[in-house]
Every structure is written in structure tokens, then in C-alpha cells.
Chain A
């Protein structure tokens, strides 16, 4: 690999009491990429991030950020990191603007013009006391504080979970801008579509272990579309199409998973057979996990 590793963990273990939150996690994020960190709730995404920020000490294994140990050198490392937690809690008696200024000042000060622009784009009112903000508005505070100052590494923990679709697109533009500036992004999420749109590479984590890692093309089988069809008599014709998987029939209804490339062929076949009802949906992460990983254990 030619590019430098920004984040590197190997066999990372974090134990809480008797439970292992991380159970030998390997995570590699190279310079300049937007890396998706996918997993269901409770998989260990936030714990990993807290170890990377030096908030928690790993039980075993190694973690390196910019080649340094985050537990002993968090101050040096965090100088170049912007972080957005999944559940943003703010100081109730500070206004949103004051919280933004505090967080950016601790990192060395905001770019005033960029701060103003972000506040405008996110349609954020910085004069209200933080206790009156909704979840989405609290998240905006953390996002504006993160993007108002250039960082080398952005660590974003489910950052768009409280944003409406309009604000989500503002958020995506900021990620694109960070990528353009050459920064590295670690984006944790449980929303597959978000990761598909933004990320170059993806690591999928489950029960504290990385189960898959690679480019989206590598993980192509994860971006299938689920079809649910009624009024189709001959399922063998569907099955014979290359890129159609997991066909099975319940009464009158047929369900199958279809690779992106096979969709035109499937639609043609369905039209030919005179299907009476068709539902197509991107496979949800949860269903992917159920299908791909629950049987593997």
C-alpha cells in the first residue's frame, strides 16, 4: 500500500467487566480516504472511536493514529482531529454559538468565514441556549464546530442520525469538501445508503470484530436490491438470470436479491411473466447482517 495509514488497529480488545466490546478488531484507514465504519447498534463502533481519541484504554492489541499511541499521546493526536459524537450533549447554559466557539478554540480557533457559512447552510440559530435545541440542532453544533476548522482526520460517529434530508445533503457537501482538501474521514454509520454515497472503502464490524473490509466494489454483494413480487408463476426463469440470488417463494409471493447489473434483466422477465405487484427496496443493513453473517457463526 503506497498511501500512509492514518488509523491502524490490530487485534484491538476492549473489555468491560466480563463482556468484550471489542474482540480483536483490525481497522485500517489510509490517508485521504472516506472510510465507512458500518455495523449494527452495539457492535463496538463508538468504543473503537473512544479508544482512537484516547478516551479509553484498550485492554489488549494496538491502536495507532497518525502512527502514535492514542492513549499516551492523545493531546498531540487530537490537535489534528475533528470529532462529532453520535449523541451530542451540550452545556445547557451556553448558547449554540458559544459552544461552537469553545470547541473550535480548544482546537486552535475557527475560520470565521467558514463558521458563518456553515451556520447559514445548516440554517442554524446560534443565539439559543443549548438546552432548547433538538437532537438535530445539537448535532449541527458539533458538525459546525468540526468543519469550521480544517482537520487532518474527521471522526464522525453516526453524524447525520438527527438531520433531515435537506441538512443531510449539506453534511454530504462538507464531507466532499474535506475529501477534496485531502483530509481523511472515518464515518461510522448504520445506514448503508449513506455509506454507499460517501465512502471509498468500508469496514463492517459485528460483535467487536471486523467481518468485512474493502472497497464498495469488493463488497458489491452488499448493495443488492431486494425484490418482492406477486403473480409470477415460473421462478426457475428468475433463478437462471445471472446476478439473482436467494430466490424463495411464500405462497403467491416470490422474494429475491438482485445485483445492480441484473436489474434490467429481472424487470424484463417480470414484465414478460405479467407480474401483478412489484416492490423493490435496497437491502437494509440489518437484513444483510441477518443473511450474510448470522449463518456464518
Chain B
């Protein structure tokens, strides 16, 4: 056990900055949301109107969660919980993969395993680190909510819910890394499972039933299939209940135990999914820098596309169902009539437009991830191999930028097609396919700005590429999702490219904004290509 503690200390030291940023950032978000609701929605009538907006609009239920009364705490929980839980889950999965499969793949684990340690010592240390990180998160988030002005007792329960979801995903990731051979693959699958948990809860919540006063929504049974749904079921600011958290803790215990047993019985470097023999010669596409850039990204891009097909199918399939449910509820349709007179038919459009906005963020993430390849190629010494041949840096960077831009377009198009096909099926309106495909593509200009900016960071501050690439995207996402709620200054909201995307088909396409975004992308991308020629290739 002393050895495990030593490993734990080493891992914690390696992570001291990363985890501080994650935990501090999530706590800050809690503080900001709590503070915003306390100050901007101090009057109950204001909170009633925002809750009414949720009850009448399944897109909000899907994206954010369930209204649970009109108290300040309940409204803050509604606005912030699912997003916070997703962040806690991602913090946990990245943490586990970083210290287990990624280390094993890079050969560091071999060095450790040659010392007199139990085979699963490293995994034990990592699981403990995951527990400690989520425990700290509970403290920080509870403090954030309380300082933000929310009731103390409820804030503790809410923070416990966030931390328990995080802990559950420590277990999930611990199992995933036993099954997959690479750190990158493990990160992808674990993050996808977080996405699934979010989507399943979204479906269940969107299909929920409102109470007579339209202040609460009870989720459908589907939400009970999602760990994030369990966290939400604690209802911290109305009728707090800790029992759902037992599900999360039990889940964590079972998953972590399974992973520990598997790890102690398997060989180093072995995995459930393993490599088969491949081609002994490269095909035509594998003989150029562009081919290489494509080859490196294609499996990941396929993953993103499968993800957005699911999202699109949900968006397109769920919209008509919830619209029907709203119309069947007389008190609800009356309320909708009051809020937005005469547009009940557009519930489907509003719902879909909101989900396509999320698609824009996913497209940006896919594009940014493709650009980040440049940095990994450089840091791991493969850029050196390529640039020692007569390939100019301009060609090398351009090839990756082309693949990144294509990834953005592919994700947007796939999402639009999937949504359109799903809607066309239920409404027999074939024009929906073209309409929603172009609606999804309206988010591509904002997404490619992130691609170009990440490339610029790579050209100027190579060592910060990965941190800033993802960091800027998260900041853009937070500003987009919470900017208006937090009443951030207009200029700050305007900085986020997502703020300038048009929510087609609800809004008209802002052609000027599109041209400006594309112009910025072009200028920044050219700057990146020019500047990358001026620096050393470093490790």
C-alpha cells in the first residue's frame, strides 16, 4: 500500500495544474450560475417565466434538464447541472486514461511494472486519485453554489451529485482502458460514453410530463438509464434525496472492481481489441502529406460522424413527438400561445435549431482535434521525419488544415442529413432534408474559426497548442451557452464565433456574419502558415 501511495503522490504531482484548472473552472462556473440566478432572477415572477420557457420548449429540457420548482436554487440547478456533470465526467475519464492506458502505450508503465509492485498498483493509485479529485470537486462546487447565494443544504446535495457522476465515470474509464489498446482510442470511447449519458438523459427529460402548475417536469423512465439522470434525480433544492447517488457509487464500485481484477490478470500491453496485420504497401492515398493527414484523422472523424448521426436522429425523431405532446396538453398549448402567439407549428423547428447549434460545437471540436495532430506529430518526432523530406512546412500545415476544414463540413453535413432524413420520415416532407442540411451547415463558418485559431497557436506557441486549442473551444462554448444568463458584457459575447451563427431555420441566415467569419478564418489560417516557417521544430 505504501507503493500505491507513492504512485498516487507522483500522479497527483503530475496533474497538479491540470486538475486545479478543471476543479477551479467547474467551481467558478457553479459560482457564476448561482450568482447570476440570485441577482438577475431575484423576483419569483421572473423565475416563473424562465421555467415556463423550459416547460414549453423541449429543446431546453433536452439540453439542460428538468424544472424542479420556482426556488432560486432549483432554477440554478436546472440551468447548470447537466453541463457541470458532463464536465466532471470528462475530467474523470481524461484523468484515468492519462495515467493508465496512455502510460502503458508509451512504455512508462513497463518501467513501473518491473519494480516489486502488484500489477494493478498503478490503476489503484489512479482510482484513488480520481476519487480525491471528485471529492475536491464536491467541496469546491458546494462552496461555489453557496457563495453564489444558493441555500447551503441544497448546494451540498447538488455538489455531491456532480462529484458522484464524476466518480461513476472514473469507473467507466477504468474499464474502457482495459479494453482498448491506445490512450487516444480510450479517450474517444470514454468521452463518447459521457455523451451517451447526456443524450439519454436528454431524451428522457424532453419526453417528461409537466405538473398542473407547469413548474415541474417529471422525467420519463428513459432518464433513469443515464448516470447523469440519476444525479439530477437528487432534486437538491426541492425535495433532496440522496438515494440515487447510491446507484452512482455502487456503479463506481462495480466498474472499478472489475477493472482492477481484469488488470491484475492481463498482460502488459494486452487489450480486448487488438491490432490485426495490415497492408505491406501503402495505397495511392498513403503516399502524400495530404493522404497522411487524412489517414491520421479518418477513424476519429468516423467516430464524430456516428455521434452526430445519433444526435440528428434524436433531434429529428424527437421533435415531432414532443410537439405533439405539447399540443395535447391544453394548459401548455395555452401558455405557448401566450408566449409566442400563433407559432405552435414551429416547435419542431425551434427544437431542431437548438440541437443543430450543439452540432456546430461538435464540428468545431472535430476540426480542432484534427489540427492538434500537428502538435502531436511534432512533439513525438514524426514531423521531423516528414520535414526532412522535400516537403515544405506550408504544404505540411496546409494539408492538415484542409483535412480539418473537411472534418468540420463532414460533421455539419452528416448531422444535417441525419436530422433532415429523420424529420422527413415522420412528416413525409422531403424538403426537410435540404432545409436542415443547410441549417446545419450555417454553423460551419463559426466552427472553422476555431480550426484556424488553433493552427495559429500551433505556429506561435507550439507548447500551448493542445491546452489553448481545447481551452478556447470550451470558453467559446461557455460564453455561448451561459453568456446571456451571466449577463456577460456584449463585447465579450461577441468574441465567441458561435454567437454569430444563425439558428436556421428559426432565424434567417446572416450572410454578412458568415462572410466575416470566413474572412477571419482565411486571414488567421494564412498567418499561421506564414508564421510556422519562422520557428524551430521542437519536441
Interface string of B191-202 (1 = CB under 8 A from A): 000000000000
Q: Is B299 an interface residue (CB 8 A)?
A: yes
Q: Is the CB of B281 within 8 A of A106?
A: no
Q: Does B225 contact A (CB under 8 A)?
A: no
Q: Is A260 an interface residue when CB atoms closer than 8 A count as contact?
A: no
Q: Is the Cβ of B386 less than 8 Å from the Cβ of A97?
A: no
Q: Binary interface profile of B, 500-539, with partner A (CB < 8 Å = 1, else 0)? A: 0000000000000000000000000000000000111100
Interface size on A, residues (CB 8 A): 41
Instruction: Name the residue in B288, B292, B391, B535 with the highest tally of chain A Cβ atoms < 10 Å from its Cβ.
Output: B292
Asked if B384 and A129 sit within 8 Å, CB to CB, the answer is: no
Q: Are B381 and A89 in contact (CB under 8 A)?
A: yes
How distant is the Cα of A23 from the Cα of B144 in the complex, in angstroms?
Answer: 54
Judge if A126 is at the interface, Cβ distance under 8 Å.
yes
Tell me whether A132 and B275 are in contact (CB under 8 A). Answer: yes
Q: Does A81 lie at the interface of the complex (its beta carbon under 8 Å from any beta carbon of B)?
A: yes
Residues from 87 to 131 in A contacting B, C-beta threshold 8 Å? 87-95, 97-98, 100-103, 105-108, 126-129, 131
Contact partner of B388 among A55, A87, A102, A129, CB < 8 A? A55
Most chain-B CB neighbours within 10 Å: which of A81, A100, A105? A105
Q: Interface code A17-46, partner B: CB below 8 Å = 1, 0 otherwise?
A: 000000000000000000000000000000
Roughly how many angstroms separate A74 CA and B393 CA in the complex, as a whole number?
Answer: 10
**Residue of A at shortest CB range from B181?**
A131
Q: Verify A76–B387 contact, CB threshold 8 A.
A: no
Whether B287 sits at the interface, judged by CB under 8 Å, is yes
**CB of B286 within 8 Å of the partner chain:** yes
Given known A-B contacts A127-B279, A127-B280, A131-B182, A87 and B381 have beta carbons under 8 A apart = yes
B391 in complex: contacting residue of A75, A88, A91, A97, CB < 8 Å: A75
Q: Which residues of B contact A75 (CB under 8 A)?
A: 390-392
**Inter-chain contacts of B287 with A (CB < 8 A):** 101-102, 105-106
Other-chain contact of B182, A92, A94, A102, A127 (Cβ < 8 Å): A92
Contacts known (A50-B537, A91-B382); A101 close to B282, Cβ less than 8 A: yes
B286 partner residues in chain A, CB cutoff 8 A: 94, 98, 101-102
Q: B14 an interface residue at 8 Å Cβ cutoff?
A: no
Query: Are A93 and B280 in contact (CB-based, < 8 A)?
Result: no
Is A214 an interface residue when CB atoms closer than 8 A count as contact? Answer: no
B181, B182, B287: residue with the most chain A Cβ atoms closer than 10 Å = B287
With A95-B280, A98-B281, A128-B278 known as contacts, the answer to whether A89 contacts B382 (CB < 8 A) is yes
* B490 at interface, CB cutoff 8 A: no
Chain A CB within 8 A of B428 CB = no
Closest Cβ of chain B to A89, distance in Å, is 4
Q: How far is the CA of A83 from the CA of B286 in the complex (A)?
A: 20
Give min CB distance, A239 to chain B, whole Å: 48
Inter-chain CA distance A88–B296, complex, in Å, is: 18
| Chain A residues closer than 8 Å to B536, beta-carbon distance | 50, 55-57
Kindly state whether residue A177 has any CB partner on chain B within 8 Å.
no
| A78 pairs with B388, CB closer than 8 A | yes
Most buried by A among B182, B288, B381: B381
Residue numbers in B under 8 Å from A185 (CB-CB): none
Say if the beta carbon of B295 comes within 8 Å of chain A.
Answer: yes
- Shortest CB-to-CB span from B538 to chain A, Å, is 8
Per-residue contact bits, chain B 267-309, to A (CB 8 Å; 1 contact, 0 not): 0000000010111111000111101100110010000000000
| Separation of A108 and B291 alpha carbons in the complex (Å) | 15
In whole angstroms, what is the CA distance A79 to B390 when docked?
A: 5
Do the beta carbons of B280 and A131 come within 8 Å of each other?
no
Q: A50-B537, A101-B287, A128-B277 are in contact. Are A91 and B296 (CB under 8 A)?
A: yes
Asked if A55 contacts B381 (CB within 8 A), the reply is: no
Smallest CB separation, A79 vs chain B (Å): 4
Q: Assess the A106–B275 pair: CB atoms within 8 A.
A: no
CA distance A126 to B281 in the complex (A): 8
* A53 CB–B CB distance under 8 Å: yes
Q: How far is the CA of A127 from the CA of B388 in the complex (A)?
A: 24
Name the residue on A nearest B538 (C-beta): A56
Residues of B within 8 A of A88 (CB): 381, 385
By a beta-carbon cutoff of 8 Å, the part of chain B in contact with chain A is 105, 181-182, 275, 277-282, 286-289, 291-292, 295-296, 299, 380-382, 384-392, 534-537
Q: With A98-B282, A101-B287, A127-B279 given, can you name 13 additional A-B contacts, CB distance below 8 Å?
A: A50-B536, A53-B387, A76-B390, A87-B381, A90-B382, A94-B278, A94-B282, A98-B279, A98-B286, A101-B281, A101-B286, A102-B282, A107-B390
A-B contact pairs, 12 of them (CB 8 A): A56-B537, A75-B391, A78-B388, A78-B391, A85-B384, A85-B385, A93-B296, A95-B277, A97-B278, A97-B279, A98-B282, A103-B385
